[in-house]
Amino acid sequence: MHPIDTAEMVVLLDDDGQTIGSAPKSQVHHASTPLHLAFSCYLFDGTGRVLLTRRALHKRTFPGIWTNTCCGHPAPDEALDEAVTRRVHQELGLQIAGLRCVLPDFRYYAVAADGVVENEVCPVYCGRAVGPVRPAPDEVADYAWVPWSQLRAAAQLSWAISPWAAEQVPLLDRAGIGHQS
């Protein structure tokens, strides 16, 4: 029997956001998903456009949905900024300049059409994309660079993007993120 790859483990949290253990990612997302640690990342180009991605069609949660640049889970004992950098590179082949956490306390709960639940403490990061986008097909079905105003409009149509992005975009907009990047 092979040991479980710690890169595929997620950090479980109590209601106060304190670590209480870990579990294999493959066993965490279901109809009663426990609260766990994740992150969201929004990357911008030199002209201020934001990179949106469409989740691969075979993803366990919210397959085929358009969303922010990258989402993921830190491994146990992995710093969040390192997890963001790792996943952005794995999923999109990009490096990040100026990575910063802009919504450290974001938390959400969402139920997909198939009943799978996302239940996450999910700090939100922003930065500038460095390099050409080279999406991993097992993670990303499609991508698009869009002006912030288009993403803001999509967030008002909650069915147009992921539920977490629909909640995050107005908060980012109020913080002036789409206007500064």
Q: What domains, with CATH codes, occur in the chain?
A: 9-175 (3.90.79.10)
120 marked ligand binding residue: yes
58 marked ligand binding residue: no
Q: What is the pLDDT of residues 134-161, one digit of tens each?
A: 999 999 999 999 999 999 999 998 788 9
Check whether 61 has a pLDDT greater than 80: yes
Question: In the annotation, is 8 catalytic?
Answer: no
Check whether 77 has a pLDDT greater than 70: yes
Can you tell me whether residue 135 is helix, strand or coil? Answer: coil
Q: Are 172 and 103 in contact (CB under 8 A)?
A: yes
Check whether 48 has a pLDDT greater than 60: yes
Q: Are 43 and 94 in contact (CB under 8 A)?
A: yes
Strand-pairing partners, residue 143, are 53
Q: Which of 8, 41, 70, 71 is catalytic?
A: 71
Q: Can you give the pLDDT at residue 179?
A: 66
Question: What average pLDDT score do residues 75-87 get?
Answer: 97
Q: Can you give the pLDDT at residue 181?
A: 44
Question: For all residues of the chain together, what is the average pLDDT?
Answer: 92
Q: Are 75 and 83 in contact (CB under 8 A)?
A: yes
Q: Give CA–CA dist 122/30, Å, rounded.
A: 18
Q: Give CA–CA dist 8/10, Å, rounded.
A: 7
Q: Can you give the pLDDT at residue 178?
A: 78
29 marked ligand binding residue: yes
30 marked ligand binding residue: no
Q: Can you give the pLDDT at residue 49?
A: 97
118 marked ligand binding residue: yes
Q: What is the pLDDT of residues 169-181, one digit of tens each?
A: 999 999 999 765 4
Q: Are strands 140-146 and 124-130 parallel, antiparallel or unpaired?
A: unpaired
73 marked ligand binding residue: yes
Strand-pairing partners, residue 107, are 121
pTM of the model: 0.93
Q: Can you give the pLDDT at residue 3?
A: 44
Q: Which of 8, 41, 78, 120 is catalytic?
A: 120
Check whether 85 has a pLDDT greater than 70: yes
Question: In the annotation, is 71 catalytic?
Answer: yes
